[in-house]
Every structure is written in C-alpha cells, then in structure tokens.
Amino acid sequence: MDRYDAILEQLRVAQSQGLDAVATRLDAIVENLGELLQSAKTTVQSALPTDAEEILPLAEVEALVDELRSEAKDPVGGISVENLRTLDAARSQSELLRALLPMLSDHVGRAVVLVIRDGVVSAWSGIGFGDGEQLRGWHGGVAASPNFQRLVETSKPLSVTPANDPLLSEWLQGDEFPAEGLLLPISLRGKLMGIVYLDHQNDQPWNIEAAQSLNAIACLLIDTLHHRSTVPTPTLAEIAIDQVQQESLADDEFIQPPPEPPEVIPPPEILVEETPAPTAFEPPVDEPPVEPTPPEPELDADGEDAIEFEPVSEEDFEQPEVEKDGPVLDYDFEPEPAPTEPEPAEAGFDPTATVRIDTTEDVTSPDAPPQPPEIPTPVPTPPPAATPPEGIDEPSAVELEAPPPVRPVEPPADVAAGSKQAPDEDARQEEARRFARLLVSEIKLYNEDEVERGRAEKDISTRLREDIDRSREMYEKRISEDVRSGHDYFRDELVRILADGDADALGM
C-alpha cells in the first residue's frame, strides 16, 4: 500500500465513525422528543374535563325541547271543531257519552264513565282498558270512597291518587297504579248523574285542561239536548261555498254541450200506429227485393229474458226517437194518446228492417186476432193497395218469421216504485223502532226508582211526565209523520220497557 492509499483508508474510517456518531445522536434526540410528547399528551389529557356536559350542557336543553314538543303536539284545550260537531250531532245522552270517550283518550291515558244510582257507583263504559272485562268488576258504594263521596257532595272536579283511594285501589288491583287520577262530574239539569274517571301512566298524555273542557261541553250539550230546536246545531255545520260561486259552477256544468252521439245510420222501419182503421201503406219501388234475413230470435229462444222489467231506451235499437210516441223513459202505462197522422217511411223498404211497435200504449186492435200475453204485438192487415216485395206475403209473416225486438215490458210505475221503496220503508220503520227504544231506555236508566214505584202504583206517565214528553218531542222531530201515523213505536217501548209489558201501569 502506498502512502496515498493509507491516507484514503484513514479518511474512510473517519467517515464511518462520524456517521455512526450522528445516528446515535439522532436516536437520542428522537427518544427525548417521544418522552416529551408523551408528557405533553398526559398533561393535555389531564386538563380536559371527563364529562361532556361540562363543555356543552345539553340535558337541560333537551328537556326544554321535549316540553315544547309536547305543548305543540297537544295544546291546552286541544278541542277541534270536528270534536264539537261530533258531540253536537249526538241525539241522545248515551250516544253523546260514547262519542266523548275516544276524544278524552287523545288527552289522557284512560277514561271511564261511571254511573251513580242509589248510592252505588258502577262502570258504564270506558276506553284504554283492553277488552273491558276488568270494568265489569267496577261496582261499589259511594261511601266506600272519600273521593267519590266528596265529589257527590260538591259536584266539582277532584284530583285523586288512585293508590290511596280504597275503592279505586280495589278496582285497579293487578295493574300498575296510575301516577295521577282525575274525577269529573256529569250533571243533568243540576243533578249529578255520573262521573268521568281519568288516569295515566308516566309515558301517557295528561292534558287535564283539554279533558275538563271536553267534559264541560258534553254536559252542556246533554243539559240542552231536549231544548235545542235542531240537532245538529246549524252554526257548527261545514262552511258552504259562496252562493254566487256555486251558481256559477252549476251554470258551467249545465252550459257544457252534450257529447255528440256517434253517427248512426238508422235502418228503415215500418211505423205501425194503432188507429181504428188501417192506414195506407206505400212500399218503395226503387230497390230490388231482397230475401229476408231473420234477425236473431229473442222471443222464441228466451222469450222470458226479453220481457225483464228493465228500462230500455230507443237508442238500444239504434233508431231515431219519434216524439209522437211520448217520452221513451217515462214508462207510463196509461198515456193519453194524441191523434196524429202516421208518417210514411223515409228510406227504402228492407225486409230485414226492424218493425218497431210502441209498447207504451195498448196496441191490441179490436179487429186483430187474440195474441199470446207474452207477445203483445198487433197483427194489422195491410190495405189491398199495398204490394209487399217477394218473400213476404203479409205483415203477419214478418212477425212470425222474423220477430222484431220488442221493448221489455216494465211493471206499472206504482208497482216498480213500491218494489224499490219497500227496503227503504223497512229501514225507516226500523229506525223509528230503534230510536224509540233508545229514548225510553234512557228514561229508565235515570229513573229506576220512579219506574218501580210507578209500576206498583200504575201511574208511570204521571211520575215521569216531563221525561216522557221531552223524549216524545225528540221522537216526533226525528221520525217523519208518515211513519208515526202508521204505528206508535214510542208507546210500544213505553209499555215494554217502563211498564214491563203491562200497559195499565202507564196510567195513560
């Protein structure tokens, strides 16, 4: 190795040693930095709060939002005009109370209508209690509950704790006791007749202002039910359209031109008009005779179908309407025939043409031979001057070989109307019977003691004159006079329900 190579070797060794020293120094610096970063992280983490509520408290805000949402969903009062219309349309106390219950359930958890009679309170109807089987056991003395006793004495609403009331706690056994309860009085002419019991669990609505308002409205409507001239009240009716606008709409509807009927080429026809003497017959001569092609028989194959009692207009035969035949759709079987001259056929004679007979009049000629009752068509004899085309000997041959379509015969107007009105009449009679039963049942419901004494003394009508007169007035307002004149269902129910079948017990 020469001197230069030795110098280069020493420089290479020094280079390697310097690189190792720098790497070692950098590793130490990195290690120190890591320790510093960990220390800084620990310091920062210790400075941060562990509860997020310390940074931004949201629990209070969420509570306020829930409260606002609840108020927006169920505002105080919460009574819509639809609720008022439903209550106002009720025609009896029981109908009104049944309509009240689902409205109350929109504002409270559960609701029960309780009836008080002879110091005993019992459930009449409720909502929110499943199938209602539990309510069958709601029966007890008013004296057993301080809350019921207090309400009977004051007739004022009362807030209660069901778990602390002996009677309510007995009725609610097996259920989780409600958080709160409310008793609302039901009054009739200033007399307490029943109680509305309301309660709720913590997750159920509890808008007692709305419930109290609905109950008060129901009591007012019950109290005035027999004195209101019209039920429902006209002021609560749906708002009608402006009369001018309504007439404008009606005018627009009637001004519309009728749709153009499809163009129909009317077939030639022979008009046969019932007259004492046959009229002249002028067959056309400008067309060659054609062998008659009988139309599809209707009376031979299924004659009974051809005389079904169904209205058929002239358009079914694709023939123009002739005014002298009278209105086609009236079906008056006793028209007054107007003497008119027969019109000659306008088109050429075609043996296959339909022979139309006016069935709105009696077309049986005195000179014609008797016809079967199911084919009431005349057989006029043409005058000697008429020479029918070949293939047709006489008009009777046309009728026998190619029976014309005959307009179905409809029963007389009074018979047809009676058959359609019979179900309606039965429905009206049934409505009168049901309404009378409902009115008399309510009289008995609120006057059990008087009814029993009246049966014994046979003076029910005297004891309950006010209630009977008021209910009869309602019956006469609702049931039309023609139904009432046919049968007195109201008296029947008085005898059956109040007098227990003994008409003498009424004392009327």
Report the DSSP pairing between strands 158-160 and 139-141.
Answer: unpaired
- Share the mean pLDDT of the chain: 73
Tokens of 156: 């004022």
Asked if residue 183 lies in contact with residue 111, where contact means CB atoms within 8 angstroms, the answer is no
Fill in the DSSP letter of residue 378.
-
Give the pLDDT score at 378.
52
Q: Give the pLDDT of residue 191.
A: 87
Instruction: Classify residue 122 as exposed, middle or buried by CB count within 10 Å of its CB (0-12, 13-18, 19+).
Output: middle
Give residue-wise pLDDT tens across range 40-70: 888 888 877 777 787 788 888 888 888 887 7
Cα–Cα distance list, 40 to 33, 36, 37, 266, 339 (Å): 10, 6, 5, 107, 122
Helix/strand/coil for 169: helix
> Which domains, and CATH codes, for the chain?
81-235 (3.30.450.40), 270-410 (no CATH), 413-506 (no CATH)
Q: Picking from 118-132, 138-152, 319-333, which range would have the lowest pLDDT averaged per residue?
A: 319-333
| Lowest-pLDDT range of 131-145, 270-284, 441-455, 494-508 | 270-284
Q: By the 8 A CB rule, do 497 and 451 touch?
A: no
SS3 content of the chain, % helix, strand, coil (to 5): 50, 10, 45
> What was the pLDDT predicted at 455?
92
Q: Is the pTM of this model over 0.75?
A: no
One-letter identity of residue 342: P
- pLDDT, residue 61, reads 87
Separation of alpha carbons 193 and 17, rounded Å: 111
Least confident of 118-132, 143-157, 158-172, 372-386: 372-386
| Residue pLDDT, tens place only, 350-386 | 444 444 444 444 444 444 445 554 555 555 555 554 4
Distance from C-alpha of 279 to C-alpha of 382, rounded to nearest angstrom: 8
Q: Number of C-alpha atoms within 13 angstroms, CB side, residue 64?
A: 5
pLDDT at 398 over 60: no
pLDDT band for 271, please (50, 70, 90 cuts).
Answer: very low
Q: What is the pLDDT of residue 155?
A: 92
pLDDT band at 397 (very low <50, low <70, confident <90, very high): very low
Of residues 175 and 454, more confidently modeled: 454
Task: Name, in order, each residue with C-beta under 8 angstroms of 449's C-beta and a sequence gap of 6 or more.
Answer: 118
What confidence tens digit (pLDDT) does each residue in 14-48 have?
999 989 999 999 999 999 998 899 888 888 888 77
Q: What is the pLDDT of residue 251?
A: 58
DSSP track, 117-131: ETTEEEEEEEESSTT
